[in-house]
Structure 1
Amino acid sequence: MLRSSVHDHTVSTVPTREPRYEKKGLKAHRQLAEVQALQEAGQLDEALKKARSFVAKNKKEPAGWRNLGRVLIDTRQWAEAKRALDRANALAPDNPSTLINLSLASYHLDQFEAARSFGQQATAIEPENPLALNNLGMALIKLDDFDNAALVLRRALSVRPDLAPALSNYGAALNRLGQFSEALDVLMAALKLNKSDPYTFVNIGNSLRFLGRDSNAIDMYNQALALDPGMKEGSVNICNVYNKNNLFDASFTISSELIEREPKYVKAHSVMADSLIGLGRIDDAKAAAESVIAIEPASITAQALLVSLAARADDYDAADYLRAARRFSDLHDIYRPDVLANPADDAAKLRIGFIGGDFRRHPVGYFLKQLFTEYDRERFAFFIYHNAVEYDDLSDFFVENSAAFRNINNKLDRKVAQEIADDRLHILIDLAGYTKYTRLSALVHKPAPVQMTWLGYYASTGVSEVDYILADPYVVPDDCEAEFSEAVLRFPDSYLCFSEPDCDVPVRPAPVSENGMVTFGSFNNLNKVTDNVLALWARVLKATPGSRLMLKTMLLNRQDHRERITQRFAAEGIDLDRLILEGPSPREALLDAYNKVDIALDPFPYGGGTTSAEALWMGVPVLTKRGDRFLARMGGSIVSNVGLGDWVAEDDDDYVAKAAAFATDAAGLIDLKRGLRQRVLASPLFDGRNFARKFETLMTSAWDAYRARNDGEGR
């Protein structure tokens, strides 16, 4: 998914005023003073007319061009303002007033490098000028240099503690550094000083959003829009909150209206893509990402989304996918001379880093937990680089079971790479691929000598600096290695190891034993239930008279989505009374809901991971289909590793035939459910201790191979 950034769109400064003009004739001085007086009185049209008249007659007078530039800034005519100020700067270089306003005009033209340069020039001349420092801080935020932005803005506030724009910008920088409570305090102080600035409300909304106070955040964004109805940032941030809360229809509506108004606004296309993915409209999401690239060809998030969508497309082609992944990699050619790897050559332990955004109650966290519980701390040291603001009690577990837990969210790729290199890792493992929290753009710096991808993504990265992909014989058979730019490093059985849920939910008898009819079920995200999946499940229901299908997932808590899914099944000839539709539940209740299901149906090509493991733990067998790519073979790996290889169908017809055969064997289903949890817990899918030993063997072999290639250098 596209990573929706924190839209802090910082506050503009008040244009600076020169205390005195250069020496000139009295008439010219009076004309310039008149322009300034009109400007300060708010008579901008008249001020602009007189300023233009002055420069037409005094083309070599820098003060005239400066005055014109300031009036144009007040009328938000940024391009013309910058041209006027460039002229002033050429005629009289190093004037702080000119440089401050050039920084501001460049900022509003999205020329952030220029804004930074002019801001730096201004502060070099007047180091304590709060307006120059504020403009520089604004530019640094847009360039993702949040640490330096915060430093510069603190300097501005040390000179002018009551400078509301600097307070608002400082709060924005703190938001981007993940210091949300501190940011909120700063921003509320800014609001007391100026209640009419919409961007302060946006920044407050961002703090509240990441503090989990979504309804309060929406209120702040709406207040920003009340002050400025056309404010793009307010609307797009409301979309972010709606997407976060699975209100994808509402987000889509707002982003559509915003794009109609602002067709070149990249962030609107980005949040639209997120909402379309949530709605399962994958082709439309792809079109939205392509719209981003048409506007901003080097967009990392849009390119990542296209790669991710290519991996799950119904018309998947392995060669086309790999080309798309390599195109993303090619965007980073500029970084490739920066080889930072600095392994610890005298370390007693192999130092392994994990980079991603899901070290929490998330499928990746659940699949990592056993490894972090069981790994050999005498031989290995684990480092975590957490690329997200989300943090919970499972995050605490990872902190306690790692040598270091570093939050890298919103840090520049180069800084992240340097931080990793400074930890002197031997191996770095990417856990995000092209998903929301991707940091492949940091891996191209090669901060560790051996780099891998695993677990959080389901295809090749296409990045030449990623040496290995961790897999197993099921997800990557021997004849499929050409699909990957990485070398394939295989576990002997399962490349996944799930953690037994930390709640006591008993397995009850199979529902078919009580009601005499089979209940199929899927608790996967509704966006995985494509038209092809739904049509096949309809065939399953038709082939098993009297059976029912239970769907339980997030979007089904809303009537419009329930109606949409029933209409889709009705079009396939399936009556409403054969469907059981339920919304989300807390995890314990979710697991208990599997006691209403006899057979879980795996969608395709994007099958279940956590949902399949949880179904099996609850004694529910999973029917899956052998796929044509890593992503589509995960189900086969999961069920085969718990001894249910006969539950892997070869194609659609086999899927229907197997479903019908298993459904008619009520005694077999009853018996299977009775002993499946014990069988699953003893399998490679849940045996954490054995999984950790296999992981350690793979890591050691990869490092030994690196040392052999490099004449024994390193550890």
Structure 2
Amino acid sequence: MPPDQNLFHEALSHHLSGQFSFAEDKYRKYIENCDSLTVACTNLAALLIKKGQHHEASLFLDRALLYNPAYPEALSNQGYLNLLSSNYEQAVEFLTRSLYYKPHLQESLHHLYTIYTRTDCLQSLLPYLERALSSSFDPDILLLHAQVLYTIEGPERALQVFNESLEKSIHELLPSIYSRLGYFHLSFTRDYNRALYCFDYSITHSATPEEADLVNKGECLRLLLQLPECIKWINKCLHVHPRSVSLINLKAAVNRQAGDNNSALTLFNLALKLDSTNTQILINKALCLCDLGDIPQALSTLILTRKIDPQNAFCLQALGEIYFKNAQPVYALQSFLQSIYFNPRSFDAWDSILYFLSFTRVASTLERSKLVDSYHAALSTLPSCSFNSPSSCENRPLRVGILSAEIGNHAVSFFLESLLLSSNPDKTLFFVFPTRDRSHEKAWSTIKDSVYAFVPIYNIDDNAAHRLILDFELDVVIDTSHHMSFNRQLLLYRRLAPVQAHYIGVHGSTYLPTIDYFIGDNIITPEEFQCEFSERLVNLSRTWVSFTPPPRLPLINDAQLSNIRFGCFNNFMKITPETIELWSSVLRAFPGTSLLLKSSLPRETDDSRKSDIIASLSQAGVDPSRVEFAPYQDSWMSHMNLYNSIDISLDTLPLTSGTTAFDSLLMGVPLVAFSSPWIGGRLSHSIMNGLGRLDLVAFSTNEYLAIVGNLTEHINKKAYSRSQMRRQFLDSELCNSFSLYESFVSTLKRLHSEALSSYSNT
């Protein structure tokens, strides 16, 4: 029976309009009548690949190539399937054959780009790109050519290619070239202002602007934190393109960024109704579900995404982040490692895994070493910049810059506040550069009023920020954000001052080669920990932080509880199997006691995580009725008042208590600290040392039980007073911010002097 051409045209029409289910049905009916039709088999295979049905897709591609072995699109799709199976040699064979017949086939060039990036052979792609551009000018291939040159030769060479094309091209092509130049700035140089200019040019000079340009302009506004303007722009575009999946997804992302996760989830679901297999939207939805505390549904969504695209690096990164937050570090590490393997130059992915490494101990020494080498290889593709040479500060104040995303109601900010409020402008001038807008939070204005200069850079790209900060001629720059959200590690990589150091933020190396020092103390960063850091360890002469109590202290209730109640108000991702083992030992050793838990993070209020904790303690022999959960507290005072409901704070491990240790001691509740041999395992140890109570530090479970037993005996005999513990805390160096300032500044001056001496000698 001859094939029904109407069926084929209907299938093609549905395919091009995005109605993939209807298209698949028509293709199948068409192929039933004539199973040797190359185009139909290839198009159906492409739809099946999109759905994750790779085996069936391969069968249809075999049929397509049996009928026409030189059909480029079939060869390209077969190459892509081999790429998804990590069969790179076979993939390259199919892809290069497709380019022999059709040199400018974009899909094949992009798949080769992926393979050669992973195998570090990008140079091999250049001949194919040059041949494609010589046979037919295509702005998308121009962009890919620039991406390759950016990696191999640097940004100047890549921009030269764009400039040459702009000079040679006819007027009608300029908008499309500016569009690709905008994408290059958006994704590679991260110069969002230049990207915005390019997209504006393309949109205003095009009779019918590309939808991608409309979306990318909105993305620039989002990244520049111009959220009201971004929403206004998206709504304007949606009026013209009401069914644009990309615009709806972007609007959802803006809502999520603004903290409106419920509205964001509604929009993500709407977008998925229009395109149910869009992996980007599925990933965004999963992260939104995680923010809302629905971990099981978030994981389910990402598992579906992996079925569609097993090598999607962004999906694997999101999986790692969710496993990490759900206290499943082994699964998190596996996901992060795969994410980096499939996208080794994604600095967002590097931020995720390096932040994860600072919180956990699951990666082996060899794995860490390989990761650091790979990170440095990725950094080597970025431009390096000159910085101001050191100058003597013998007769002037030391000029210290602080880059921080935590200026606001964040633990880092509270500790910084103690340091800055005690500063002496005759000795030091502090310049604070917030990298995140938290201006609505109280601590923002407190710190702003306490420093010499306060210059937000959250809406400035790296190029502009680098020029701006260099003009201040800083002697030292302090980073507090590590690889946390809204960090500016890539800006620090360019160097902003002769001396750069990390302080307070995170308990682990940044692994950034231009961060010279990591500032700690003799307990959290002793000399024997140097092998775990790329920075040189520098220790203050006292505890590494201090706390400034508020003028109005929370009230203490010295009345004794009827039964001893333990408590821990750390965030739930610190509650690891090691923590469960320690706590269950305590609860088994002291019958009649109970445990009160409360997370410090609002997103960790979901019942599934609580159920996991209860189940783990139950398996360890603890009656679930002895474990209670307090709701998340919106205010600091209500959070602090909860300490009146417990007698003894228990530590977590391997990552021990930090901010919550200070909270507990301020409320007169003793913390029993557990010390282990890494920086994250020494935080509470250092705090108790600063308190002068090393008798509350244990190095083994038996020691821990002995200390808890001694405390419970004192409490039962009424030989213990919360008020007395608070007084000891307030009188200790933990609350002596002037001592911290003197130690901190003398350390920075010594480091600057060493840099000056080293520079003079060279």
TM above 0.5, yes or no, is yes
State the match for 1:466 in structure 2: 515
Task: State the distance in 2 between where 1:470 and 1:76 align.
Answer: 49
Greater mean alpha carbon deviation, residues 342-351 or residues 448-457: 342-351
Name the amino acid aligned to 1:608. Answer: S
User: In the alignment, does 2:696 pair up with 1:647?
Assistant: yes
Deviation at 1:538, TM superposition (A): 0.6
CA-to-aligned-CA distance 1:387-418 (integer Å, 9 cap, x gap): 33555322233333334444444866565444
Name the amino acid aligned to 2:731. Answer: A
Which aligned pairs between 1:169-248 and structure 2 lie closer than 5 A?
A: 169-248=216-295
State the match for 2:596 in structure 1: 550
Q: State how many pairs are aligned.
A: 645
Task: State the distance in 2 between where 1:111 and 1:692 align.
Answer: 44
| Residue among 458, 469, 490 paired with 1:420 | 469
User: In the alignment, does 2:583 pair up with 1:537?
Assistant: yes
Contact (CA 8 Å) 2:316, 2:335: kept in 1 or not? yes
The alpha-carbon distance between structure 1 residues 242 and 106, as it changes in their structure 2 partners (threshold 3 A), is farther
User: In the alignment, does 2:172 pair up with 1:133?
Assistant: no
Contact (CA 8 Å) 1:326, 1:463: kept in 2 or not? no
Deviation at 1:378, TM superposition (A): 3.2
State the match for 2:20 in structure 1: none
| Residue among 535, 549, 552 paired with 1:486 | 535
The alpha-carbon distance between structure 1 residues 139 and 226, as it changes in their structure 2 partners (threshold 3 A), is farther
Deviation at 1:559, TM superposition (A): 2.5
State the match for 1:62 in structure 2: none
Deviation at 1:610, TM superposition (A): 1.0
Name the amino acid aligned to 1:130. Answer: P
Contact (CA 8 Å) 1:534, 1:569: kept in 2 or not? yes
Deviation at 1:479, TM superposition (A): 4.6
Name the amino acid aligned to 1:146. Answer: Y
User: In the alignment, does 2:728 pair up with 1:679?
Assistant: yes
| Residue among 327, 340, 347 paired with 1:280 | 327
User: In the alignment, does 2:173 pair up with 1:146?
Assistant: no
Name the amino acid aligned to 2:565. Answer: T
The alpha-carbon distance between structure 1 residues 424 and 695, as it changes in their structure 2 partners (threshold 3 A), is same
Deviation at 1:330, TM superposition (A): 4.8
Greater mean alpha carbon deviation, residues 121-130 or residues 691-700: 121-130
TM-score w.r.t. the length of structure 1 is 0.81
Instruction: Please give the secondary structure, in 2, of the residue aligned with 1:538.
Output: helix
| Residue among 600, 623, 628 paired with 2:677 | 628
User: In the alignment, does 2:663 pair up with 1:614?
Assistant: yes
Task: State the distance in 2 between where 1:499 and 1:127 align.
Answer: 63
| Residue among 134, 145, 153 paired with 1:90 | 134
Name the amino acid aligned to 2:134. Answer: A
State the match for 1:575 in structure 2: 623
State the match for 1:561 in structure 2: 609
| Residue among 709, 713, 732 paired with 1:664 | 713
Task: State the distance in 1 between where 2:129 and 2:382 align.
Answer: 34
The alpha-carbon distance between structure 1 residues 498 and 174, as it changes in their structure 2 partners (threshold 3 A), is same
Contact (CA 8 Å) 2:390, 2:498: kept in 1 or not? yes
Task: State the distance in 2 between where 1:667 and 1:498 align.
Answer: 30
User: In the alignment, does 2:304 pair up with 1:257?
Assistant: yes
Instruction: Please give the secondary structure, in 2, of the residue aligned with 1:665.
Output: helix
Task: State the distance in 1 between where 2:429 and 2:170 align.
Answer: 48
Task: State the distance in 2 between where 1:316 and 1:262 align.
Answer: 26
The alpha-carbon distance between structure 1 residues 698 and 84, as it changes in their structure 2 partners (threshold 3 A), is closer
Deviation at 1:304, TM superposition (A): 4.4
Instruction: Please give the secondary structure, in 2, of the residue aligned with 1:492.
Output: coil
State the match for 1:444 in structure 2: 493
| Residue among 401, 412, 421 paired with 1:353 | 401
Deviation at 1:498, TM superposition (A): 2.3
The alpha-carbon distance between structure 1 residues 534 and 424, as it changes in their structure 2 partners (threshold 3 A), is same
The alpha-carbon distance between structure 1 residues 400 and 292, as it changes in their structure 2 partners (threshold 3 A), is same
Name the amino acid aligned to 2:431. Answer: F
Task: State the distance in 2 between where 1:209 and 1:673 align.
Answer: 42
Task: State the distance in 1 between where 2:725 and 2:518 align.
Answer: 31
Task: State the distance in 1 between where 2:617 and 2:318 align.
Answer: 29
User: In the alignment, does 2:414 pair up with 1:369?
Assistant: no
Task: State the distance in 2 between where 1:520 and 1:120 align.
Answer: 67
Task: State the distance in 2 between where 1:461 and 1:443 align.
Answer: 11
Instruction: Please give the secondary structure, in 2, of the residue aligned with 1:641.
Output: helix
Greater mean alpha carbon deviation, residues 169-178 or residues 206-215: 206-215
Instruction: Please give the secondary structure, in 1, of the residue aligned with 2:425.
Output: coil
The alpha-carbon distance between structure 1 residues 375 and 637, as it changes in their structure 2 partners (threshold 3 A), is same
Greater mean alpha carbon deviation, residues 240-249 or residues 103-112: 103-112
Contact (CA 8 Å) 1:304, 1:328: kept in 2 or not? no
Deviation at 1:705, TM superposition (A): 2.7
Contact (CA 8 Å) 2:329, 2:362: kept in 1 or not? no
The alpha-carbon distance between structure 1 residues 101 and 451, as it changes in their structure 2 partners (threshold 3 A), is closer
Deviation at 1:467, TM superposition (A): 2.4
Name the amino acid aligned to 2:741. Answer: A
Instruction: Please give the secondary structure, in 2, of the residue aligned with 1:423.
Output: coil
State the match for 2:317 in structure 1: 270
Which aligned pairs between 1:450-529 and structure 2 lie closer than 5 A?
A: 450-501=499-550, 504-510=553-559, 513-515=560-562, 517-529=563-575
The alpha-carbon distance between structure 1 residues 249 and 110, as it changes in their structure 2 partners (threshold 3 A), is farther
Deviation at 1:433, TM superposition (A): 2.6
Contact (CA 8 Å) 1:322, 1:484: kept in 2 or not? no
Task: State the distance in 2 between where 1:160 and 1:243 align.
Answer: 40
Task: State the distance in 2 between where 1:176 and 1:151 align.
Answer: 14
Name the amino acid aligned to 1:578. Answer: R
Task: State the distance in 1 between where 2:400 and 2:159 align.
Answer: 37
Which aligned pairs between 1:324-363 and structure 2 lie closer than 5 A?
A: 324-325=371-372, 328-334=375-381, 338-343=385-390, 348-363=396-411
Greater mean alpha carbon deviation, residues 340-349 or residues 131-140: 340-349
Mark the runs of 5 or more structure 2 residues left unpaired by the alignment: 1-16, 18-66, 72-98, 113-124
Name the amino acid aligned to 2:523. Answer: Y
State the match for 2:430 in structure 1: 382
CA-to-aligned-CA distance 1:619-673 (integer Å, 9 cap, x gap): 1111011210111111011122122211001212111121122112215776331
Task: State the distance in 2 between where 1:669 and 1:643 align.
Answer: 22
Contact (CA 8 Å) 1:100, 1:122: kept in 2 or not? no
Contact (CA 8 Å) 1:617, 1:677: kept in 2 or not? yes
The alpha-carbon distance between structure 1 residues 423 and 247, as it changes in their structure 2 partners (threshold 3 A), is farther
**Over the residues paired in the alignment, what is the CA RMSD in angstroms?**
3.9
Contact (CA 8 Å) 1:509, 1:670: kept in 2 or not? no
Contact (CA 8 Å) 1:540, 1:660: kept in 2 or not? no
Deviation at 1:592, TM superposition (A): 0.7
CA-to-aligned-CA distance 1:285-312 (integer Å, 9 cap, x gap): 0000011122123343444444444444
State the match for 2:117 in structure 1: none
State the match for 1:397 in structure 2: 446
Task: State the distance in 1 between where 2:664 and 2:490 align.
Answer: 36
Instruction: Please give the secondary structure, in 2, of the residue aligned with 1:359.
Output: coil
Task: State the distance in 1 between where 2:552 and 2:275 align.
Answer: 49
CA-to-aligned-CA distance 1:301-336 (integer Å, 9 cap, x gap): 444444444444456777875675465345423558
TM-score w.r.t. the length of structure 2 is 0.76
Deviation at 1:521, TM superposition (A): 0.5
Instruction: Please give the secondary structure, in 2, of the residue aligned with 1:710.
Output: helix
Task: State the distance in 2 between where 1:484 and 1:560 align.
Answer: 36
Q: Which has the higher contact order (CA 8 A, sep 6+)?
A: 1
Mark the runs of 5 or more structure 1 residues left unpaired by the alignment: 1-13, 15-48, 54-64, 93-97
| Residue among 201, 209, 230 paired with 1:155 | 201
Greater mean alpha carbon deviation, residues 539-548 or residues 441-450: 441-450
